[in-house]
Amino acid sequence: MKLTRRAVLALTLLPPVSLAQTRPAKPVRVIVPLLPGGSVDQSARFFAVELSKALGEQFVVENVPGGDGTIGLARAARAAPDGHTLVVSANSFQTISPFLSEIPLPYDTVKDFSPIAGLVSVSHVILARPDLPANTIPELVALAKASPQHLNHGSASSTGASYLASILFSRRAGVQFTDVFYKGAAGVYTDLMGGRLDIFFDSLGAAMPLIKAGKVKAIATTQTRRHPLTPNVPTVAETYPGFDTSGWYALYGPARMSPDIVNRLNAEIAKIQKSVEFQHLAATYGYEAMTGTAAQLGATQAAELAQWGELAKTLKPAAAAK
């Protein structure tokens, strides 16, 4: 049967296919397995807003903290794979927790999730209390080696990428820190600004407001090149070549999600990462776009599981959180 010219024209005017056209209309839950206010939560909220605008559906962030991320991730893993429940996770949860969690994870970080898209990559930064008598990596290492009592290092998680970054640094530099564990970054910053802690490894984006305000001191960033937001802050790699502990946040769904839904979400996120709104977010908080296909995200996770696994197996269980 031949289509008339009018019928062909009508087809070209149809709106693009949305996710909702093959599913019941209801909001998409975007689980964040942490308390509100951190950089993972911030990234999730940005992409939820932009996906809502792009797809004409409501993407709603739901914070499900607890268990060092396991409660929220378990909820996402158990959800129906229909695209109505997603989760924004971090490389620490997907590639480090399997080795460092003090209890067995109630899910498999590979088998129980569908990789969808990378969102942002983040640089870590070594922070110090403002009056610490060290301003560079060589000075920090010299101070740590000369101190009869080791410098206090605050950590918001015993299984996070920032904590492992501190372990990698201390081993590379041949120094030892006294780890003090907290239930969240807020307590670490309170004690760091108050002079009760000496150093803290955290994401650059989370630390930028306090760095700008002079409430904490940036010693070095942990990517291989200086970050555009902190061009005067050296990298650890300038002292220890090759040192790199970048982190990332990514969007996942439950296992066995439809490839059509995965690919559509991945394509929309790629568009968002090229937008003016994303460039503003990146320039403000020090993020960089983590681009690539869903398969590439899965490959990145697999490679880091191998990389971090060898280190994590050598670590002793962390002390209880304060």
pLDDT of residue 257: 98
**Is the C-alpha dihedral spanning 9, 10, 11, 13 positive or negative?**
positive
Matching CATH topology for 23-122+246-312 and 127-238?
yes
Q: What confidence score (pLDDT) does residue 1 get? A: 45
Residue 20 has what pLDDT? 52
- The SS3 call for residue 31 is strand
1.10.10.10, 3.40.190.10, 3.40.50.880, 2.102.10.10: which CATH number matches 127-238? 3.40.190.10
Q: Could you write out the DSSP letters of every residue in 179-194? A: EEE-SSHHHHHHHHHT
Q: Give the model's pLDDT for residue 231.
A: 93
pLDDT digits (tens, 9 = 90+) for 160-215: 778 888 988 999 999 999 999 887 788 999 999 999 999 999 988 889 889 999 99
Output the CATH code of domain 23-122+246-312: 3.40.190.150
Count CB-CB contacts under 10 A for residue 119: 27
Cα R_g (the chain), whole angstroms: 22
Q: Which segments in the chain show pLDDT lower than 50?
A: 1-3, 5, 7-17, 24, 317-322
Sequence ranges of the domains in the chain: 23-122+246-312, 127-238
Q: Looking at residue 315, what is its pLDDT?
A: 64
